[in-house]
Structures are given as C-alpha cells and as structure tokens.
Structure 1
Amino acid sequence: MIWRSVVGKLWLTILLLVSVVLFFLTVLLLQFFENFHVGEAENQMKQIALKVSDIVSSSNESKESLLTSSEIVDSHSARAVIIGNDSYWVSPNENNLPKLPKRFFEKDDTLSRAQTLKGNNYVVKQGDFPIKVNGVVSHSRMMVVGVPIKFSNGHHGAVYVFQSLDVIQDTTNNAKKLIYISAFIAIILTTFFAFFLSTRITAPLRSMREAALQVSQGKFDTEVPVLTKDEIGELGTTFNRMAGQLKQNLTALNQEKEQLSGILESMADGVMTFDREGQLLILNPPAKRFLHAWRYEDGEGPAPDQKIPEPVQALFHTAVTTEKKDVAEVSYQGRSWVIVMTPLYDQAVVRGAVAVLRDMTEERQLDQLRKGFIANVSHELRTPIAMLQGYSEAIVDDVAETAEDKKEMAKIIYDESQRMGRLVNELLDLARLEAGHFQLNQTEVELGDFFMKAVHKFKTLAKEENILLTLNGPEHPESTLTFDPDRIEQVITNLVDNAIRHTSKNGTVTVDVEENENGVVVKVHDTGSGIAQEDLPFVFERFYKADKARTRGKSGTGLGLAIARNIVEAHEGKIIVNSKMGEGTTFTFFLPRKMKKPATI
C-alpha cells in the first residue's frame, strides 16, 4: 500500500502539516475578519452619528437637516434616534429595525451616558436587546452607537445610530466563504505539490532500494546513479562505495574460506568445531573417518554427523566449563586417537570449542616395535652369549673330560657365534637398506638357471622335513632380466626358508615364476598354518612374529621379511602377502623389466 511507502508517509506528513497550519490560519483569519467587520461597522456608525450630530446641531433641527440625516442613515441600512430634554426623533425608514422608545436609551446605563459626553467621544453596545412593542416582547440583535449633541438652544442630548448585527454577520459570512474556498484550493494544491515533492525526493531512495535488493542477491557490481550533490547524492555515493568495499571483503572472505577449507581437507589430523550448545559445525575427512569408525564399532550405523562419541562430548563440556584445553585418547576399530579440545572465544566469551584428532596408531605401533626390537635383539643376543659363556667356562674349567666333548662344545660355540654374526649382518644390511646407502650390482640374469639354483639348495632341507618343494616356471627358461642376483636370491632364500619352517610334515611348498611384458612375478606358496588377519599388515616389520611357537625351535631372527621388502622395493618392485588360517600363506613379489631410477638406495 502507498501509505506504507516513504512516498505515502512523506506525502501524508506534508499534507497534515499544511492542513494544521491552514486550520489555525483559517481560525485566526475568521476571528480577525469578524472583529474587523465589527470594528468597521462600529467606526462607521460612529462617523454617521457624528455627522448627523453636526448636521442637526448646525441647522437648528430643521426639517431639511433631519431629512438629510435620514438619508445618510438609510444609505447604511441603519436607523437614528435624536433625543433631547424635551424632544425625540427617530428616522422614518425602518430598515427592518424596531423603533426604540426614549426610555430604552434612558434606562440603559451604557447608552444613557452619551448625553454627558463631550467632543467625539461615544458609547457603543451590541447584543440581543429585548424590545416590547404593543405588549409583545421581541429580541433584536443590534449594535447601538451614541454620541453627544448640543442643540442650538444650548441643551444637550444624544444621537443614537443602531444597526442590525445580521448585516455585519452577512459581511462576515461572505469573508468566511472566501477563506474556506481559499483553504480548500490550498489543500488541493498542497496535495498535488506534496505528492510531486515526495515522489521527486524518494525517487533516488527507490533506486537505492532496488540496488540494495540486487546487492543482497550477490550482484555487487550494481551502482546507484548519482544525479545530485545534496545529501541524497552523498548517500548514493556512499552506497556505491559500500557495495564495492563489500564485494572486496566478501571476495577476500571467500578466498580465506576456500583456503581454510583446503587446509582442513588436506590436513592429516581430524578437526571438528562445535558451537556453545555442542552442535557440530565443521569436520574434515579425517574427522569423518573417526566418526565412521566409532559408529561402526558401536553399531550405530549411518547416524547423522551431529552425533558424537561420549568421550568427545565429555571433553567438550570440560573445555567449555573450565575454559581450558583438555586432552584424551580413545581407540576405535584398532586405531588410537588423541583428542585435544580447546575452547573458542568471541572476545572474552566462550562461543564453542575446536577438537583436533590425531591418529596415533602408527606412532603407537612404532613405539611397540621399538620396544619389541630392543627386546628381540636382547633376546636373540642373550641366548648365544649365554651359551658362549657357559660352554667357554666348561672348557676352561675342564668340565669336558674327553676330546670329543671339547670338540662338541667348540662346535656349539662356533654355531652360536655364526648365529650372532648372521644377526649382526642382517641388522647392518637392514640399516643400510633403510638408510639408502646400499648399492645394487645389477646384471642380466637368465631366469631358468637362476631360479633353479635358488630353489634347489633347499631340496635337502625339504626332504628332511618331509615337505614337497616344487618349482613351476619360468615358461621360457632362456629369457633374461636385469637385477641384482645376490640380493634377489637372498629374498627367495628368506621366503622359501620361512615357508619350509612354517609348514607341517607332508606339506608342500611351491615356487611359481611367471613372466609378462612388464616383468616377472614370483609366488612362494606353502600349506602351513597361515597368518592371522590382524597380523598380516605387520609381517614385514623387523622382529615381528605373529606366533612365537610357529618357528618350532628354528633359529629365525625376525629380520628376513623386512630385508626382503627393502630389496624388492630397491628394484622398484612390490611384495605382498596373502594368507588364511589353516590353509597356508602366499608371498608374491614383482620385479619390473626396466627401472626408472638409478639402482642405488
């Protein structure tokens, strides 16, 4: 509606303001004109009365003077009365006015004083006068003006001129009509002028309103046309400057938001932010994986992202309540998470909290491996050292009586020293491999002879354990491949030795060699007890043994698979393991035909 718009309000305000002013002005003008006409009538009747007094007093009350006086009074629709001590005269023409008797003037306190006045002084009285004519009382609204007169005989009297107030009222009414018409015309003109003015003033405001709507819709290039240099023009200029600044600020804000989003997406740590009520606002992919693991473990299923684990809720309430950072560690699906909850502030008021989740699984595993490494090395060295010390003391103390006993003890000492040497050498090899200080001696090797020699040396061991050892392939024995034969033979030795040691009697160990255009795939399969699923990711770690009883007393160091992985990866290959409990294990490694980088690691 127009009344709710600025145009309507401004129009109505101007119209009401002008109407109020015109109202008071009309009232004042009406009062002024009414008083003015009454005053004019009073002054006119005074002048008539003075003129009649002069005419009558100068002509000794002749008939001509009375006739002249009557004509003068009649021309102004009035009547005149001349009163002396013994005389009384009233103008003959009534002019719709009553004939006032002498006693009317003599009994009135105001009018009776006219005979005692001197000079141009006069008395006046107006109102509703009761007149009794023939026993009937009637009321007449009149104005009576009285002036003194001095007759030729020296007597004093008074001349009274009276006129109906209706005549004065008619003149006043005509003036009122003129004022009313003028006021009405002024209201009409004010209405059109106010509408024109309000429309003209608010046109730039309407343009700014449309521009503001477009800016609110994201169209920040919208500008308001500035046509004037007044306050509205300055407002339009300021609006255009504000829109430009707003565009710059939003662009910068979007860039910062995208940058922050990119940082959060690329972070390895999980991030979750909460508002004051604990509602989840932002989370990045690692945090989503954390929530997914928690839901899966607790059987929550695909719950909404707003639901969070109880430990996280407890951390949030502690951080918000105490306004201090809080730390906790939780485990879901075999992974360890350290959660650091820090309150967020809006100046001095806590407005929420941010949680940083770090996956500490690898750190915990590495810590366990470090401890295990120390324990394993200590264990592996303690046994041979203890045996070396014991048998050495036996020889020194002549416990061995015969030469055969001494020879047997010496052989045990030699075997244990060999075992310690192998352990130290393997540790050194592994350290050089992992440090990248190892040179591969690559040559072109014929595959048939190489794999035949590498596998054949285990025939005797397999026969002793009553295990069937089989080599399948390669399909083309004369084909060649470039690699370090000593190191690849070390890999095959570790894999086949492990397979034989972990396979029960009457079992089988199979070595399959397959060629393709990209390289060679070697599979070592056994029918042993297999490896548990939870142990598969760690079999290539140093000193890792899924089941200490699986070695069956054999002298494994726990470093063979770690060395094998590093050698294969040094050839830019890949090694994997597949296993099922009770069915057996298969180790598969791939050697490419061409290496992309120099053969130095």
Structure 2
Amino acid sequence: MKRSLLRKLFLHISLVLILAFIICTGVGKYALQSYFLHNKLSELQPQMESIAETIGATGQASTHLLKEGFIIKAYDLNAREIEVFGRSTPSENDLPAGLPRIENDIRTAVEPYVSEIIGGGQVATITKLNGMDDQSILVGQPIWQDGKLIGGLFLIKPVSELTSAMWGFMVTFMLAALLVLVLTLYILYRVIKPMILPIKLMTASSEAMAKGNYDERVPDNGYGELGELASSFNILASRLEQNRNAAVKLEQARRDYVANVTHELRTPLASIRAMSETLGDRMLHDEQEKERYYHSIQLESRRLQRLIDDMLELSRLQSGSAAIEKSATSARPIIESIHSRFSILAEDLDIKLCITDEAWNMPDCYGHADRIEQVLTILLDNALKYTASEGTVTLDASWNQEVITVSVCDTGQGIREEELPFVFDRFYKSDKSHAGQGTGLGLSLAKEILTLLNETIDVQSSEQGTCFLFTLHRH
C-alpha cells in the first residue's frame, strides 16, 4: 500500500524542522557560551590588571576571586612563586574539581605563557591547558614596580565551572524551543491536512470515474492552485459525463434509426411483394383489379424511392459533402414557383392556400434559391398533409434591416407540447401522421439545410394549428 501523501509530506517537513531545531540549538548554545565566556574574560582582565598594579605598589594584594574558586599565582623573573595573597590563598581541598592540585601542575599549565608575561606581554585567552581535562580561562599580567618588571600574575578557571551557571538558562531555552517546535508541527499538520484533502477526494473520484461513475465532484474551495485543480477536475468530470450521455444518446439514436429505416422499408416492400406474388400467380382475372394492383405497386415504389432519396440527401448534408454556396437570391421567383405547385394541390384537398402580400413582396436575401424552395416545399407539404378539408395554410413573411422571417402556418389539430422538441428528429412522427405517406425525414432535411445556410428554424403549436418559422439573412 502506498504511503499517504499527508503522512509523507508531514514527516519530511517535521524532519527538516527537527534538524533545524537541533542545529539552531547547538549553534545557539555555542554562540551563547562563547559570548558568556568572552564577556567573563573581558571582565576578569581589568581586575587582573588592578591586582598586578597593587602587587607592584605594595607587594601584597587581596581579591574576592580566590573565594570564587579561581587559581591566582604570581611568579618572579626566575619563575619562583611570590607569596602575595597571604592566608587568603585556598587550600588544595578547597579547590573545585578539575583544577590542578599541586604547584607542579599549576606550573605545567602556565609554563607556555610565562615567557610571554615575563617579556612584558599580556595573555587573555580560553584554551586547553597542559594537565587539565577541559578548556580553561587564562589571564596573565606582568607585575611592574617603579617602572621595572619584577614578575607575572596568572589566573586560571575551568570553563565548565563558569558555564554551569548557564545550564538553567539553556534548559529553559531548550524547553521553550521544544514547545515552539511542537506547536509549529501541530499548526503545520492542521494547515497541510485541508490542503491534502482535495487531492484525496480527487483520487477517490478518479477511481470512481475509472469505473464509469462520472457523477463524482470534489469541493473546489481549496488553496490557490489546489482549488484551480479541483475546479478543472470537476470540469473534466462534467465533460466526461456529457460525453457519456452523448454516447448513450448516439447509440440509442443509431438503434432508433436502424429500427425506423427497417420499419419504413418493411411496409412498402411487403406490399410490393404481396401484390407481385398475387399478379405472378395469375390469381386476378379482372383487368381493372390488375390495373389497381399495378398502380399500387407503382405508388409503393415511388414511396421507396422518395425514402431512399431523402435518406441519401440527409446523409450528404450531415456529412458536409453537400456544400451550399450562398449568393444574392431573389425571393419573388421562389414564391411564384411555390404558388404554381401547391395552389392546385390545395384546391384538390379543399384547403385554402393563402400567400400574403408580405410573402409576395419580401426583399431579396442572401442564400441559395433551390435550397430555400426545398425548405418551403417540405413545410407546405407537411402543412397540407396535416390540415383537414376547408382548413387554411398560410405563407407569410416579415423582416427588418438584417433578417427576413418566413412562416408557414396551418389550422390543423396542432402538435402536443411534449412532442415539440422532437419534431426535427429523423423518422419522428406524431400519432396523427401515421396514416400519411411521408418518410419522416422532411423536417430533418429542412433543419439541416437551414443550419448549413447559417439560419434557424423553430416551431410553435397550439390546438388552433402549427406554425413553422425560419430566418433568411438579407446580407
């Protein structure tokens, strides 16, 4: 199992912080200790200078440093000890642990610096002396008497004795730093966790999407780029869901298309086959009856031809292989052709065909004359087919500076509201049209033609009839 990103990130940051804490603590301790010792050294040096001057002037001196555990020794020019402190000198048993216990040990510790002091120089340093286990403070001062160098004065104190006073402060400092570290890690955890949560949610959602569940969404209120990533993830999920739904609809449309084509072809083919078999078996002897069968076969053949032509035409339009070039088009010849073709048919059906003055006088448009006439033919053919006797079919137009709106309205029984969204689908027929001889592709063809012309078509319907409206741009 893969390690949690939250755990891994928190662990790495914690290690960095702990390492930084250790380094800073060590560096801080060293810097503080050095600062303390050098301050102490700077404090002791003037005191040693004062003691050396007192010895040079009076031959004797006293100092509180002896009671604080410092070793202070004076030597003449022959490196012999000078008794200058009297009875105030501590005994060996009174000296702190780590200091030399006998005179020879003290001589060994200061021997490397005697020549420098006797030469008139000064020493103030923190170093490791011979015969001592730890670093020590060493201060050396020459002793002058009446302007003449008579010896040297030395002070020794182990560093451990001085820094022990610092431990209280160091412990307090380290506890405070440790508390700050713990609080920092806790705050860091509380900050990182909500930042990692969207990633965990996206991981779970992506796994669900991999299984086909595209309804998953994640909160997009994360920090900065994480919020943008979550938002992008939701957009991706939404598009995948749309693509899935589109794929389902496409598959259903394909199945419906095959079923509709099969249904539309089966009926005329069955009729032609039945009538052909009847004629072939010489079962009809009446010439008029034979003539009626031949006529029916002809009608069914034409219906098949019409269906196949419409299917091929729609396929060419939808594939883009049937390019439509637009040009300036005069509307008058189109209306005249429509009138001559449909006025007689409307009269035979006892339907009034009304072409308004606006339709007769509509201005020129920018389109394709044959395709516009094809759209009007489809709409008028549908209107006449679904209008009862003594009804009315009206062709009208209106326009502004940019667009002409053409309408074809009938007084039929109308289309139910729930069917309106589907009237332009291939092979879609409402219940009232099943008895007709249409292919179910006419309105689909009309919509596809107008789409290629960059125009729109809409339908409005009520109990008083149906009205199709489409646009034609003037420029």
Q: What TM-score bracket applies, with the shorter chain setting the length?
A: 0.5 to 0.7
Q: 1:362 to 1:526 in 2, by over 3 A?
A: farther
- Which one-letter code corresponds to 2:458 in the other structure? V
Deviations 1:359-410 (A, max 9, x none): 1333222222211111111111111110010000010112212010100000
- Which one-letter code corresponds to 1:588 in the other structure? L
Match of 1:524 among 400, 408, 417: 408
Match of 1:555 in 2: 437
- Which one-letter code corresponds to 2:473 in the other structure? P
Q: Following the alignment from structure 1 to structure 2, what is the Cα–Cα distance between the partners of residues 365 and 583?
A: 33
Q: 1:536 to 1:16 in 2, by over 3 A?
A: farther
Structure 2 residue 82 is the aligned partner of structure 1 residue 37: no
- Tell me if the contact between 2:412 and 2:464 (Cα under 8 Å) persists in the aligned partners: yes
Structure 2 residue 445 is the aligned partner of structure 1 residue 567: no
Match of 1:382 in 2: 266
Match of 2:459 among 578, 587, 590: 578
For 2:322, what is the secondary structure of its paired residue? coil
Structure 2 residue 55 is the aligned partner of structure 1 residue 14: no
Match of 1:271 in 2: none
Structure 2 residue 467 is the aligned partner of structure 1 residue 592: no
- Which one-letter code corresponds to 2:35 in the other structure? I
For 2:267, what is the secondary structure of its paired residue? helix
Percent identity of equivalent pairs = 31
CA positional deviation for 1:433: 1.9
Name the structure with the higher strand share. 1
- Which one-letter code corresponds to 1:27 in the other structure? E
Structure 2 residue 68 is the aligned partner of structure 1 residue 27: yes
Deviations 1:30-82 (A, max 9, x none): 88699842499xxxxxxxxxxxxxxxxxxxxxxxxxxxxxxxxxxxxxxxxxx
For 2:68, what is the secondary structure of its paired residue? helix
Match of 1:496 in 2: 380
Q: 1:527 to 1:589 in 2, by over 3 A?
A: same
CA positional deviation for 1:425: 1.0
Q: Following the alignment from structure 1 to structure 2, what is the Cα–Cα distance between the partners of residues 449 and 513?
A: 15
Name the structure with the higher helix share. 2
Q: 1:574 to 1:443 in 2, by over 3 A?
A: closer
User: C-alpha root-mean-square deviation of aligned residues, in Å?
Assistant: 4.6
Q: Following the alignment from structure 1 to structure 2, what is the Cα–Cα distance between the partners of residues 39 and 412?
A: 147
Alignment TM-score, normalising by the size of structure 2: 0.52
What is the number of residues matched between the two proteins? 304
- Tell me if the contact between 2:366 and 2:472 (Cα under 8 Å) persists in the aligned partners: no
- Which one-letter code corresponds to 2:86 in the other structure? H
> 1:423-434 alignment to 2 at 5 Å?
423-434=307-318
CA positional deviation for 1:513: 2.2
> 1:66-465 alignment to 2 at 5 Å?
316=204, 326-329=210-213, 338-339=214-215, 356-357=237-238, 358=240, 359=242, 360-438=244-322, 446-463=330-347, 465=349
- Tell me if the contact between 1:575 and 1:587 (Cα under 8 Å) persists in the aligned partners: no
- Which one-letter code corresponds to 2:433 in the other structure? T
Q: 1:506 to 1:455 in 2, by over 3 A?
A: same
- Tell me if the contact between 2:359 and 2:395 (Cα under 8 Å) persists in the aligned partners: no
Provide structure 2 residue ranges, at least 5 long, that are not aligned to the other structure. 1-26, 45-63, 75-82, 90-154, 156-193, 219-228
Q: Following the alignment from structure 1 to structure 2, what is the Cα–Cα distance between the partners of residues 424 and 503?
A: 26
Provide structure 1 residue ranges, at least 5 long, that are not aligned to the other structure. 1-5, 41-182, 184-273, 283-314, 330-337, 343-351, 595-601
For 1:498, what is the secondary structure of its paired residue? helix
Q: 1:17 to 1:529 in 2, by over 3 A?
A: farther
Q: Following the alignment from structure 1 to structure 2, what is the Cα–Cα distance between the partners of residues 39 and 398?
A: 157
- Which one-letter code corresponds to 1:574 in the other structure? E
Q: Following the alignment from structure 1 to structure 2, what is the Cα–Cα distance between the partners of residues 397 and 510?
A: 49
- Tell me if the contact between 1:501 and 1:552 (Cα under 8 Å) persists in the aligned partners: no
Q: 1:37 to 1:516 in 2, by over 3 A?
A: closer
Higher RCO (CA 8 Å, separation ≥ 6 residues): 2
Deviations 1:1-35 (A, max 9, x none): xxxxx99x978973577459958666345886998
- Which one-letter code corresponds to 1:14 in the other structure? Y
Q: 1:408 to 1:25 in 2, by over 3 A?
A: farther
Deviates more, 1:455-464 or 1:372-381: 455-464
Q: 1:391 to 1:446 in 2, by over 3 A?
A: same
